[in-house]
Amino acid sequence: MWIGVVTIFPELFGEFLQTSLIGRARQSGKLEVEVRDLRDFTDDPHRVVDDEPYGGGGGMVMTAPPWLRAVRELSAGRSPSLRRVLLSPQGRRLDDAKVQELAAQPELLLLCGRYEGIDERVQQLVVDEEVSIGDYVLSGGELPAMVLIEAVSRCVPGVVQQASSVERDSFRTGLLDHPHYTRPAVVEGLPVPPVLLSGDHAAIERWRQQEALRATAEKRPDLLAAAQTCKSQDGTR
């Protein structure tokens, strides 16, 4: 999978792209990430990318021309299915379904805005969809882009070594994860649930399923309700 990123802070992506799962996915060639500086697409010597808003009101707005150049230059020679995604609080909220949909694309181009946002005509001309990572305000689209890259990468075949761990991930099953334990067996007087030491794999599986259900009912009852609706809609009850 190829992911392009346009930002005025390309350095923010450095360590992130070299570390752990993403670093390995890039080294193995399963993932290619091309981060470009928006300022490289300006034509003035001061590399200015913002201006005052028409209508006043303070704050600054990113100007359209560098974005149009950047998106068009990075799109050239890419597949026609390239999805151009703007990260913004006005976008559709990112969830597991959207992550899987984006991961199924061979190519994504992520636009990371700053300030009050980007001239609206950029959206009209070169953006396919707007995605938000949640209802809170950040200072730029870079962290949202990293969130999206990390979530999407996990769905690219071969990126997560153990495919079963992706299938078991919360949300893929419709449930939250069950609790996890590792050594030592007792932590400040708290023991590991004995079933996990029993060696009875069927009993362990039942316990995990039951704990996943319990955790979901307690922490995210809305997920259980949604899973019920899905099941009754697809007719499997």
Neighbours of 172 (CB within 10 A): 12
Bridge partners (DSSP) of residue 129 are: 85
Query: 43: helix, coil or strand?
Result: coil
Which residues does the annotation mark as catalytic? Answer: 89, 116, 154, 169
- 194: its two tokens: 């004995």
The answer to whether 95 and 152 are in contact (CB under 8 A) is no
> Which CB atom, from 67 or from 207, has the smaller least distance to ligand 4GX?
67
> Which CB atom, from 88 or from 153, has the smaller least distance to ligand 4GX?
88
Query: 143: helix, coil or strand?
Result: helix
Q: Closest residue (Cβ) to ligand 4GX?
A: 113
- 144: its two tokens: 């949202």
- 71: its two tokens: 């998106």
Q: How far apart are CA 60 and CA 142, in angstroms?
A: 18
Rounded least distance, CB 116 to ligand 4GX, Å: 7
- 39: its two tokens: 């300022």
> Which CB atom, from 62 or from 159, has the smaller least distance to ligand 4GX?
62
Rounded least distance, CB 86 to ligand 4GX, Å: 6
> Which CB atom, from 142 or from 216, has the smaller least distance to ligand 4GX?
142
Rounded least distance, CB 3 to ligand 4GX, Å: 16
Q: Which residues bind ligand 4GX (CB under 6 A)?
A: 86-89, 113-114, 117-118, 132-134, 136-138, 140-141, 144
Rounded least distance, CB 87 to ligand 4GX, Å: 4
